[in-house]
Structure 1
Amino acid sequence: MDRRVGEVGRVANAGVAQAIATAGLPQAYLPGKSMVAVGGGYYKGETGYAVGFSTISDGGNWIIKGTASGNSRGHFGASVGAGYQW
């Protein structure tokens, strides 16, 4: 039982490292520009990594962003988002 609890903790820590890596990705900030980014994270002995892409419309109103990430426990995730600013 203790071994299973320990494994759950390690998987959770790897997920935190993955989230830290994703949160650290910069994004494009000028109208008409795009950015590809990479990030890494570490938490309680576990690691995470992320890659992302972001772009801003020429008028600066639309922002689109996507990420893919993974961690030292072999789990993967992805996100996509879009926003409109005025």
Structure 2
Amino acid sequence: MGYRLRGALNYQDILPSTIITPSLSFRHDVYGFSQNFQEGQMSVSAALSMTYQQKYTTEIAYNNFFGSNEFSTIDDRDFVSLAFKANF
């Protein structure tokens, strides 16, 4: 048993023809164990995306894992990601 929370805001036209979207996500595995679910495990993710003319998107995100237990396999797997997308 666990829960996930996500919040995002859209800011349009701060820059011409651009939508800026900051987001924050939180994950908490409260009780139980499975392949991708470990009791006590938590993670937080902060991201910022910029979409230009509804065609090109750039996103940078940071993911942090914490709240370890003795069976945790991902506490040391924090990462930063950078993505570029194009819509045709």
| Cα distance in structure 1, aligned partners of 2:23 and 2:83 | 16
TM-score, scaled to structure 1: 0.59
CA contact under 8 A between 1:27 and 1:54: conserved in structure 2? Answer: no
1:41 match = 27
Residues 1-80 of structure 1: matches in 2 within 5 Å?
A: 26=8, 32-43=18-29, 44-57=39-52, 59-72=53-66, 73=75, 75-80=77-82
Q: How big is the alpha-carbon RMSD for the aligned residues of Structure 1 and Structure 2?
A: 2.7
Deviation at 1:26?
A: 4.9
Q: How many residues align?
A: 64
The runs of 5 or more residues in structure 1 that have no matched partner are 1-19
After superposition, the C-alpha distances for 1:12-62 in whole angstroms (9 at most, x for unaligned) are xxxxxxxx78xx57585x7521011111012322100110000100x2110
RCO comparison, higher one (Cα < 8 Å, 6+)? 1
| Cα distance in structure 1, aligned partners of 2:64 and 2:25 | 11
Task: Please identify which structure carries the higher strand content.
Answer: 2
Task: Please identify which structure carries the higher helix content.
Answer: 1
Q: Which ranges of 4 or more aligned residues in structure 1 deviate by more than 3 Å?
A: 24-28
| Cα distance in structure 2, aligned partners of 1:78 and 1:27 | 21
Structure 2 counterpart of 1:50, one-letter code: S
The runs of 5 or more residues in structure 2 that have no matched partner are 30-38, 67-74
| Cα distance in structure 2, aligned partners of 1:27 and 1:80 | 19
Question: Taking every aligned residue pair, what percent have the same amino acid on both sides?
Answer: 5
